[in-house]
Amino acid sequence: MNSNVQLFYATCSAINLDKMVRDVATGKETHDFRHTPKGKKNRTPIDSSRKSRYINFNAERQKILSQCHVVCTTLSGAGSKAFIESVTRDEFPQFEFDAVIIDEACQGSEMSTLIPFKYNPNVVILVGDPNQLPVMSFSPDASRCNADRSLFDRLHANGWPINMLRIQYRMHPSIVSFPSKTFYNNNLITCDLIKNRSPAQWHDHIAFPPYLLWNMNSGIMSRGNNGGIFNSAEANFVVHLLKGFARKYPDIRNIDIGIISFYNDQVTRIKDKMKDAGLLRWMASNNVSVQVSTVDGFQGSEKDIIILSCVRSRWEGSKESNSIGFLKDFRRVNVALTRAKYSLWVVANCDMLNRDPLWNSLIEDAHKRNLISESRNLSTWTDEQTIKKHKSSKPRKGGRKGKSDKNKMKKEE
């Protein structure tokens, strides 16, 4: 962007804009957007007449937006009454935007995406990934009528040319390998910056490599009072994994950890089990951030380490289940597998998930790379400093475990 651009102003809704108006009108802040040379403060004395408690919000919004070169808003915010009145007045004919850029365009419905088109842009750029989270819709009728389809998807389906951004700047090569092959036809390219990045200090430990699938077939699924699904044994394992990491690396600082689940009730269980004094003390003293949320909560974000809790297993009372629920949605799986920068550790019941083609391919891939471990190994491994070889086992379809691979394979770095 040209260095002479005078302003970047972001607002997610008219509420933020109105807060800014109130600050200006009451003298709390000037929000002077004129270009200021580096090193100089840009403070303009406030006219005492503007300190009135009575604020003309429309007039103040116009004064602010008349100085803006870039305005950031949500799709619905672009259609709000306050925003429209501020940028479409006859005395401000210049408020036809030259360009509209819509981020996460695959998550906005077609109708919502069309809202900013009313400002007559010369260029519209849609940025999104059709292989990640789609438009959120709870109406079967809307789905039947394609009302839950994004404009990006419509244009893509009709042969509109798509420019794929192939270079990825986030994931360790071991993490990106399976998503690239499965969701992007092996088209993703890891940039040199990531390839040449120093390994994380925990990568030498057998329990904390860049990528590992923990097979936990002892857990059972239960339903909460609200009908939600959780797996207490798996939640316990996730927290033990985090505690083991904290024990091995008590002095590690300034890292971000994400714990993802496909189910809200599992998120609640994990949060409850994380209320451990030692764990909380380690997080606070070392500035370690841990976010626990569903897949939807992690869309668009990244963490140094991701622990993925898949939940699905046999039902309480030994009732068999062939359904894997949300885990059948390849877009949600893709989001969950692509949030990590340095390490991704997947906790799953492989005997259950290998009945699904997508998850079976993930398990096969991890087995070929010798990156599957049984959950019972965690306690032993977190008592050892460095082990150079994995010995993984591949579960057979139908719920029986296969024999361990007797050939020693070098652990993937």
Model confidence over 16-58: pLDDT tens digits?
Answer: 666 777 776 666 655 544 444 555 555 555 455 544 456 777 7
Q: What separation in angstroms does the CA of 137 have from each of 107, 336, 355? A: 10, 20, 28
Are 241 and 257 in contact by the 8 Å Cβ rule? The answer is no
pLDDT score at 336: 97
C-alpha–C-alpha distance, residues 348 and 369, integer Å? 17
- Token pair 């672009």 is found at 78
- Predicted confidence at residue 403, as pLDDT, reads 40
Residues 179-196 have pLDDT tens digits of: 999 999 999 999 999 999
Closest Cα partner for 116 from 72, 148, 149?
72
pTM confidence score: 0.80
- For strands 71-72 and 9-10, give the pairing: parallel
